A and B are shown apart, each in its own frame.
Chain A
Amino acid sequence: VLTQSPGTLSLSPGERATLSCRASQSIRNSYLGWYQQKPGQAPRLLIYRASNRATGIPDRFSGSGSGTDFTLTITRLEPEDFAVYFCQQYGNSALTFGGGTKVEIK
């Protein structure tokens, strides 16, 4: 089970966002990804293997963590970053997603 917190994060453009994803058991090889989803759109991969940015993802997005605790950080929020973020583990064949964190404009 992946638990994301907080459920909602209210911030202003330019602020720093810190999103948490906690696993009920250790994730093998840090096989943890982060996705961004905007209303009416499919999710987009941001981060894979906990800390690697996917192609074309701006460097204001960074991921960290290992074992059971992972973090997605957005250093300076841009208007287009307000969205829902999901973590996902792919360390075993029972793939699971976290419940999501909504980053909204304060």
Chain B
Amino acid sequence: EVQLSESGGGLLQPGGSLRLSCAASGFTFSSYAMSWVRQAPGKGLEWVSAIAGRGGPTFYADSVKGRFTISRDNSKNTLFLQMNSLRAEDTAIYYCAKDLGVTIVEVTGLFGDWGQGTLVTVSS
């Protein structure tokens, strides 16, 4: 059974930094692209970033480009999102999501499995 478990969320001030983690199990982690998708309270879904199974290529939404960095440690089955220069509008639940099909050197961006999310609140 695929399991994705996010951690690292919290409350922080504008301009701060945070690193989210997503621990994966139940599948061959390095064979699948992974993404971060966020959802502001009471709002819709917004894709944030994606990374292919082998660690590259990577992709970012314009809203986070230059501030967020996605990475993965395939030896530890863990996905990361380093978030810098945080803004109030980054407040959201952050989900990690696994591509539906095998995507070692590419990203499909079709999400077959999701974690339960971790809440990031940016407020002064």
Interface residues in chain A, defined as those with a beta carbon under 8 Å from any beta carbon in chain B: 31, 33, 35, 37, 41-45, 48, 54, 86, 88, 90, 93-100
Contact = CB atoms under 8 A, between A and B. Distances in A.
Given A95-B47, A97-B44, A44 B110 contact: no
A98 B117 CA distance: 20
Given A97-B46, A98-B44, A100-B44, A90 B114 contact: no
A59 B111 CA distance: 20
Q: Please give me the 4 A-B residue pairs with the lowest Cβ-Cβ distance, nearest first.
A: A42-B114, A90-B109, A95-B47, A97-B45
B84 interface: no
Interface of B: 35, 44-47, 50, 59, 61-62, 95, 100, 107-112, 114-117
A12 to B, nearest CB: 25
Contact of A97 (B47, B50, B107): B47
Given A31-B110, A33-B110, A86 B44 contact: yes
Contacts of A90: 108-110
A42 B108 contact: no
Nearest to A93: B59
